[in-house]
Chain A
Amino acid sequence: MTTRTSKVAALDVAAIKADFPILNQLPSNGRKPLVYLDSAASSQKPQSVIDAVDRFYAESNANIHRGVYHLSERATGLYEQARHIVADFINAADAREVIFTRNTTEAINLVAQAWGRANLKPGDIILVTEMEHHSNLVPWQLIAEQTGARIKAIPLTADHTLDIDAYHTLLAGQPKVVAVTHVSNSLGTISDVTAIARDAHTVGATVVIDAAQSAPHLPIDVQAIDADFLAFSGHKMLGPLGSGALYGKLALLEAMPPYMGGGGMIRKVTIERSTYADVPARFEAGTPAVADAVGLGAAVEYLQKIDPAAIQAHEKELVAYALERLREIAGLTTYGPSDLRQHSGVISFSLEGIHPHDVAALLDEENVAVRAGHHCNQPLMDRLGVVATTRASFYLYNTREDVDRLIEALLRARSVFGLA
């Protein structure tokens, strides 16, 4: 067990970077080498993940379940093995508690629709936060419209952290659901979801955690958090695009009606009605993205070979260095918590006199890839009083040199706009 005082071995970033072919491509058209600072949107993939997907199609491809031939059994075995790997990664008590989805969005829609339809009544309160990604807000709006439930939001403090006092006040209204993001995709704010879940449970609320931005970076223990549901995207944590998962407590999943109907999720079908398969098959209608699930398993295995404390220390150091160097740039405002312990590897900022889209386009001219826009956080942008921000996000393969390239490109952007 790593303790606060123990020395964490530094991450061998050069060796890690060597595992990611896209980061080692020779740039074309005289462009500079790629600096990828958009991992919060989707991470790059190591060779082992690319190989796992490739090998699946080359050696084991067949539709899963009920195939009585060898190849189908092998594909089914690999798919279910991936489920066990993911269950182990988040410390689920039972692999049946992991449902494969395309992404976090699909996972939350599944909870909102399947659990929500069975459990929400007119007037029930769904408690979210002001910094939710649209994926943990719009699905709740849809089910609220269908059931007559209402949505309320926990506000932020001036320091862009969750206002815990306001949360406690809102809990007095006995919300039926508390749906919160573990790490904000715009602000980088890390919330104490264990405490949030504990408090929510005292009023009997069901707790849904959006772990899209935390699962790639922080150890996730669904039992320690005591999450009722937890959603994350495989493609943000080195896995293939189109891979993601929903964790749900077995008793809750077993009591839930299906989300989508179709093949694979039934027990007995007549023209009039059907009975449904057990968990997790009940929630995986149709042919799943088998190769992508296998690829997600390979991504988890890649991450598990690295000390999570070393990943965290590396990302903290990059964020601290980036925040320090960003201060050199005139007219630049950063958003997010001042306490680095509550700050993940995401930095949103505005540059006075240059629209965020122009900032991102000018950085792209230097082959520095960042994201600009509302980051699927329109209510948060309103709260910050901006239409958009520019966002740089870091992962285990980023280096201090990447931060230096970001700073150089920002200085050039100011000079192109005559602001130097």
Chain B
Amino acid sequence: MDSLYKEIVLDHYKNPHNFGELDPADYTAEDSNPLCGDQVRMDLRVEDGIVSDVKFSGRGCAVSMASTSILTDMIKGQPLDEVLQITKDDLLDEIGIPVSPARMKCATLGLNVLKLSVALKEAHSHGD
């Protein structure tokens, strides 16, 4: 049986990339997975349409922490409009390990927070 806990997941869990907070940030959001108490916050800075910096913080299982860490590597330096096109499958390909349905919420928590941060800001700017 293929282990979920391959080096890539364990490395990112123990030494997460881009861990921390950005203040000020252009985009910020956080969310949690109430089932297991995973919690992720993400801060983005965007300059000329490019994600110039990203940090995440929170706590949770290895799958949620590692997948968010991997996601921050994927998006740093990329155009925001392309970042917003990243799908669940793109992220899972990058993680490269089969994620069971039971752990899908853990694996996609960071991606959901990323999209939430942009959606929140857009909702806010359209609000008045």
Task: Give residues in A with beta carbon < 8 Å to B.
Answer: 29-31, 354-358, 361-362, 365, 372-374, 387-388, 416-418
| Closest chain B CB from A52 CB (angstroms) | 31
Name the B residues within 8 Å of A362 (CB-CB): 5
Contact B62 A355 (CB under 8 A): yes
Indicate if the CB atoms of A387 and B36 lie closer than 8 Å: yes
Q: Which residue of B lies closest to A372 (CB)?
A: B36
**In the bound complex, CA of A273 to CA of B60 (Å):** 54
Name B67-99 residues within 8 Å CB distance of A.
none
* Chain B min CB distance to A325 (Å): 23
A358 adjacent to B61 (CB under 8 Å)? yes
User: B37 contacts A388, CB within 8 Å?
Assistant: yes
Give the chain A neighbours of B35 by CB distance below 8 A.
373
Contacts A372-B36, A373-B36, A374-B37 given; indicate if A358 touches B5 (C-beta within 8 A): yes
- Bound-state Cα–Cα, A354 to B63, Å: 11
Which residues does chain A contribute within 8 Å of B37, judged by CB atoms? 374, 387-388
Least distance between B126 CB and chain A CB atoms (Å): 35
**B116, CB-defined interface residue at 8 Å:** no
Q: Which residue of B lies closest to A32 (CB)?
A: B1
A-B contact pairs, 19 of them (CB 8 A): A29-B1, A355-B36, A355-B60, A355-B61, A355-B62, A357-B36, A357-B106, A358-B62, A361-B4, A361-B63, A365-B4, A365-B5, A373-B35, A373-B36, A387-B36, A388-B37, A416-B3, A416-B10, A417-B5
Name the CB-closest residue of A to B5: A416
Chain A residue contacts of B60, Cβ below 8 A:
355
Within the assembled complex, what's the spacing in Å between the Cα atoms of A361 and B9? 13
Q: A30-B1, A388-B37 are in contact. List 11 more A-B contacts (CB 8 A).
A: A31-B1, A355-B36, A356-B36, A358-B5, A358-B61, A358-B63, A361-B5, A365-B5, A416-B3, A417-B10, A417-B62
Within the complex, which residue of A355, A372, A388, A418 is in contact with B10, where a contact is CB–CB below 8 Å?
A418
Cβ of B14 within 8 Å of any chain A Cβ, yes or no, is yes
On chain B, the residues within 8 Å of A387 by CB distance are 36-37
Shortest beta-carbon distance, A185 to chain B, in Å? 17
Residue B103 CB within 8 A of the other chain: yes
Kindly list chain B residues whose C-beta atoms are within 8 Å of the C-beta of A30: 1
| Residue from A31, A357, A388, A418 in contact with B14 in the complex, judged by beta carbons closer than 8 Å | A418
B1 / chain A contacts, CB cutoff of 8 Å: 29-31, 365
- Considering only CB atoms, which chain A residue lies closest to B32 in the complex? A387
Distance A341 CA – B24 CA, assembled complex (angstroms): 57
Judging by beta carbons under 8 Å apart, are B3 and A365 in contact? yes
- Nearest 5 CB-CB pairings of A with B: A387-B37, A355-B61, A357-B61, A357-B36, A358-B62
Kindly state the separation between the CA atoms of A362 and B61 in the bound complex, as whole angstroms. Answer: 12
**Most chain B CB atoms below 10 A, which of A354, A358, A418:** A358
- Cα A355 to Cα B10 with chains together (Å): 12
A374 to B106 CA separation, bound complex (whole angstroms) = 16
- Closest-CB distance, B121 to chain A (whole angstroms): 29
On chain A, the residues within 8 Å of B36 by CB distance are: 355-357, 372-373, 387-388
* Binary A-proximity of B1-37 (CB < 8 A = 1, otherwise 0): 1011100001000100000000000000000000111
> Given the complex, which residues of B lie within 8 Å of A418, measured CB to CB?
10, 14
**Cα distance, A364 to B37, chains bound together (Å):** 20
Chain B residues contacting A416 (CB-CB under 8 Å) are 3, 5, 10
